[in-house]
Chains A and B, each alone.
Chain A
Amino acid sequence: MINWLTESEALHYSEPLQKRFGMADDWLGEHRLLRFGSRRIYMANRHLQLPEFQDDTEIEGIGISLLRVHSQAVPKPTFEGSAYLLQHASKNVLALTTEEAELARSATPFSLADERAESLERGFILMHLHGVSFGCATFKDATVTSYFPKRYSHYNAMPLT
């Protein structure tokens, strides 16, 4: 069952994300939020119009997964949702070094020196290496704990130069 969120339902999720990562008001662009089965919020092109299928057609999915529904004040972006947010975010973004990227990939916590830690607020942050998203992490007490998914953790076929 596809449930497009009403404007106020959508704000409940989009506003805290927008504040946290400093996106412009129109960061959702041509997208709308929806719920589809699981405890996730999806994002799909707002012009998508579903026909009323009269036959036995099954809808497998729609749009992309953006965040997980839970009780925290700022919803947790999914790994794939983080890549979209990164394209629009202006704060709480961490540019990783190659060594940190390796630690993030294996979900090993690492600490940041003062000057880099000062630019981040406690809570969720987005990470990237030369623009390539590494998903989100929690930042607390100058330590970064990455949520890099296990399904991708073997991704690094070659050493980086």
Chain B
Amino acid sequence: MKQMLEYVHGDSVIHRLNPLVKLLWAFLTCIACFISSNHLFLLGVLLSTVVVAASGSVLARAKGVYKALFILGFLLMLFQLLFTPYGRVYFYILPGVPVTDQGLSFSLLLMLRMMAALSPLSLMLMLTPMNELLTAMTHTLRIPYRYAFVVVTALRFIPTFSREMDQIMQAQRSRGHETDTRNPFKKVKVILPMCIPLLISSVRRIETMAISLETRGFNTGPRSCRKKLGFTRFDALAIIIVMAVLLLSIIIG
């Protein structure tokens, strides 16, 4: 879980793309998935993200993401399936709770959409150095540095937060607290009381981070920037593909 959204260093074509292109890809793909209600289209998009993950050689990490999204999507699908009473009834799961063709089709769509729309976001985070994203936001998009920094740091806090949680759980289980139980109900019972220490320690982390930022001259004047971000043929190609996908989603609906 903790590694799901963290940048993985590499030198693939995807890594070398302009970060804004990757950002555009993540957002437009997400939008396209919500525009389209075509099972095949969504499946296609999902497969294309797998191709991206593979060419960025983060497939092993991405597996975790797909798995998590699948579980989430599956729960959503079940829910939807059970509460769609219209359409042709296949059979009754429980007395009065039918499984229908429309229910099946719609819930499947929901699951596919969920997976196809969210996986590009996490892939983008895995394949883009935060620093480049920051540079792109400040230099190309002209977002003031401090706001851009807040956004990027917020993204970064998701993995940090889960790492923190992992640490506390490790500390607790090494002193005999059963945070490593397999029983999901027990697990929830053990983890819930942890939320408060977790919150407190995260607030602390933000405080110490503020100290570190200030003592290293954050936001004290004009900034230089280490990397020049280029725009290559690959970037152009990527944009064209993304646009085409968006267009396709509008056409086929």
Q: Do A and B bind each other?
A: no
